[in-house]
Amino acid sequence: MPSVPSSSRAAGRRRAADRVEPAHARADFHEPRRPDCPWCGSQRVSPRPPAPSGARRLRAGLTVAHLAQGGPGDVPLDACGDCGHVFQNPRLTAEGLARHLHGRAEGRVARPLERRLTALRHRSAARALLPFPEPEGWLDVGTGEGHFPAAAQEFFPYTSFDGVDTDRRVVRAYAAGRVEEAHVGRLTDPHIAARLRARYDVVSMLHHLERTPDPRAELLAALTVLRPGGHLLLELTGPRGSWWTAPADPADLHLPHPANVEAELHAEGCTILTAPRRARPSGRYRVLARRN
């Protein structure tokens, strides 16, 4: 029998390591379990009720082991008995979340259909601002490589688009000319918030709040960088999304309830401009609000 080349043996050892690594994924990539709701602070939290049988069948064979490898997993979700907020518990650490997002970004390059669908979604989101005067300045939060600002530029050619993200991809967005300013960090970082206070006519957050440690703080930070009369554009996945889209996305640390988001905006003096919501099987929804 021919001997196995050393490189093949090394590759085999790496594959074997990959098979055993997921057993430690939860310990290595998750924070301690929390006893309270991250949205309202209630102690009435419990594991999310089982998904409908159809969704369970779609999720069959997927385990939390995939989390450490950047793939989908059986994400542990808790629900608040008071406000209805659904959240990952225990949730991914910052390292685990970054690893998952990096793996997914690399995989997306090889999925042209997903790129086309994302482009259509970006165009639809940008069109939501067409009824209003063209903004002077627009900040896209969680912009990645700036694909949404590039899509919105088609409808708003005289608008200055900036981007902020914790990932260095925002620097590549600047280098590619998709944003005019790139800010690395969170909008809740004091030095970023102070620099951008009351500077923008529009702030967009497309599927960003779900991936932040504190979505309420991020929402309030977005309002601080808006000028009076400015618009906040949100796209989110709500609590239904983890049932009907299979499997739940490991990147979604939170699944904010639409009523909670709108109540928070009302409390901060905003007017909700979106039409009454229609239930979508995906759980995705859009909120457009004006800061008064």
Work out the pLDDT band at 49, boundaries 50, 70, 90.
low
Q: What is the pLDDT of residue 275?
A: 73
The larger pLDDT score, comparing residue 143 to residue 12, is at 143
The larger pLDDT score, comparing residue 103 to residue 63, is at 103
Q: 97, 251 in Cβ contact below 8 A?
A: yes
Q: What is the pLDDT of residue 57?
A: 43
Q: What is the pTM of this model?
A: 0.80
The larger pLDDT score, comparing residue 97 to residue 236, is at 236
CA atoms of 238 and 173, how far apart (whole Å): 28
Q: What is the pLDDT of residue 9?
A: 44
In the predicted model, is pLDDT for residue 51 greater than 80?
A: no
**Please, which residues have CB within 8 angstroms of residue 191's CB and are 6 or more apart in sequence?**
185
Q: 200, 233 in Cβ contact below 8 A?
A: no
Q: Which of 12-21, 159-168, 279-288 is modeled with the greatest confidence?
A: 159-168
Helices H / strands E in the chain, number of each: 11, 11
